[in-house]
């Protein structure tokens, strides 16, 4: 049986991690509450990464206990066992692991080699499973790298096979730069499924530099991908990927599926209000010219 559509809104994590204006804790809580109220059961709420690496998200330990009751499908990025421990203490049922298909991007993003990262993630996954957490996996730069250009399919397959051994619940292919084409999406979905025996549900985490994200969504959906990630207002990017575009816009993604007669369960009117509120918060906390120059 084909899976039901799942859209995970990643605004509180990926959307805010390199936002131009800092979003205070209470506004982050209101954002998660608003997303769940609008119909999103799946929300990536924060990142349990050291704040020196992601200074816009230093407050996950305070955020999660305030929102964990809203949905059983909340998730946070956790790069290692310490991140998983923080997720457990905060009350989350699931974590997202991430590694890059590009050696250069992995070094920039995680400050270590791909092989060292996979070793750490393998230990992290075992620990998370031992504590009865769901473990999701993501392959960053699964299409193109800001430093190396086109990423070989073999690199993506290698990462997918490693995640399969970790026992991940879902596996996302991330278009970190936002330059993937439908042809590339089809190619990599096919290759990963062959390598993992179609045993892991695939998802797409799309950025939208070229305006092709919805075409990529359509291609993936035709190939039975049912997990997609997006952010309000197309916010987001990667602080360690020069030229990375914002995420595919949540409202556009929802409207796209609804136009095809595919029910999302999301209230677009509520989303529009929430987007305006969030952008106003970010605008209020933009650095002053003096702060920007310091």
Query: Rounded to whole angstroms, how far apart are CA atoms 47 and 90?
Result: 12
User: 287 in a domain, yes or no?
Assistant: yes
Q: How many domains does the chain have?
A: 1
Instruction: Report the CATH number at residue 84.
Output: 3.20.20.70
- Could you tell me which of 75, 72, 65 has the C-alpha nearest to residue 8? 75
User: 1 in a domain, yes or no?
Assistant: no
For residue range 61-97, list pLDDT tens digits in order. 999 999 999 999 999 999 999 999 999 999 999 999 9
For residue range 120-163, list pLDDT tens digits in order. 999 999 999 999 999 999 999 999 988 889 999 999 999 999 99
Angle between helices 182-196 and 213-222 (to 10 degrees): 40
CA dihedral 60, 234, 225, 40 (to 10 degrees): 50
List active site positions.
Answer: 238
Question: 106: domain range?
Answer: 6-293
Query: Rounded to whole angstroms, how far apart are CA atoms 32 and 40?
Result: 9
- Decide if pLDDT at 263 tops 80: yes
How far, CA to CA in Å, does 228 sit from each of 8, 119, 192, 286? 6, 27, 16, 30
Chain-centroid distance, C-alpha 117: 18
User: 17 in a domain, yes or no?
Assistant: yes
> Are residues 250 and 231 in contact, defined by beta-carbon separation less than 8 angstroms?
yes
- Reading the block at residue 194, the tokens are 């062959």
User: 98 in a domain, yes or no?
Assistant: yes
- Reading the block at residue 52, the tokens are 């020196």
* Non-local CB neighbours of 26 within 8 Å, separated by 6+ positions: none
User: 236 in a domain, yes or no?
Assistant: yes
> Are residues 5 and 201 in contact, defined by beta-carbon separation less than 8 angstroms?
no
User: 46 in a domain, yes or no?
Assistant: yes
pLDDT band at 290 (very low <50, low <70, confident <90, very high): low
For residue range 99-113, list pLDDT tens digits in order. 999 998 888 878 889
User: 280 in a domain, yes or no?
Assistant: yes
> Are residues 90 and 68 in contact, defined by beta-carbon separation less than 8 angstroms?
yes
């Amino acid at each position: 049986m084909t899976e039901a559509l799942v859209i995970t809104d990643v605004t509180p994590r990926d959307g805010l991690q390199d936002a131009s204006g800092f979003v205070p804790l209470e506004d982050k809580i209101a954002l998660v509450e608003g997303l769940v109220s609008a119909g999103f059961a799946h929300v990536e709420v924060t990142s349990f990464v050291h704040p020196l690496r992601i200074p816009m998200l230093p407050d996950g330990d305070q955020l999660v206990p305030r929102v964990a009751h809203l949905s059983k499908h909340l998730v946070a990025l956790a790069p290692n066992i310490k991140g998983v421990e923080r997720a457990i203490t905060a009350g989350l049922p699931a974590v997202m692991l991430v590694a890059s298909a590009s050696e250069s991007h992995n070094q920039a993003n995680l400050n270590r080699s791909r092989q060292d990262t996979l070793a750490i993630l393998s230990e992290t996954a075992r620990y998370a499973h031992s504590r009865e957490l769901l473990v999701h996996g993501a392959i960053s730069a699964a299409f193109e790298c800001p430093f190396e250009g086109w990423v070989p399919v073999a690199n993506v397959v290698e990462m997918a096979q490693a995640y399969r051994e970790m026992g991940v619940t879902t596996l996302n292919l991330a278009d970190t730069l936002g330059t993937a084409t439908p042809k590339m999406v089809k190619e990599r979905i096919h290759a990963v499924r062959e390598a993992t025996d179609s045993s892991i549900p695939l998802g797409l985490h799309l950025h939208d530099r070229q305006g092709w994200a919805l075409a990529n969504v359509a291609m993936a959906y035709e190939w039975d991908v049912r997990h997609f990630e997006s952010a309000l207002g197309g916010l987001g990017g990667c602080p360690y990927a020069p030229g990375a575009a914002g995420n595919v816009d949540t409202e556009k993604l929802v409207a796209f599926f609804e136009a095809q007669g595919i029910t999302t369960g999301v209230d677009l009117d509520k989303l529009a209000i929430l987007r305006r509120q969030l952008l106003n918060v970010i605008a209020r906390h933009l650095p002053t010219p003096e702060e920007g120059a310091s």
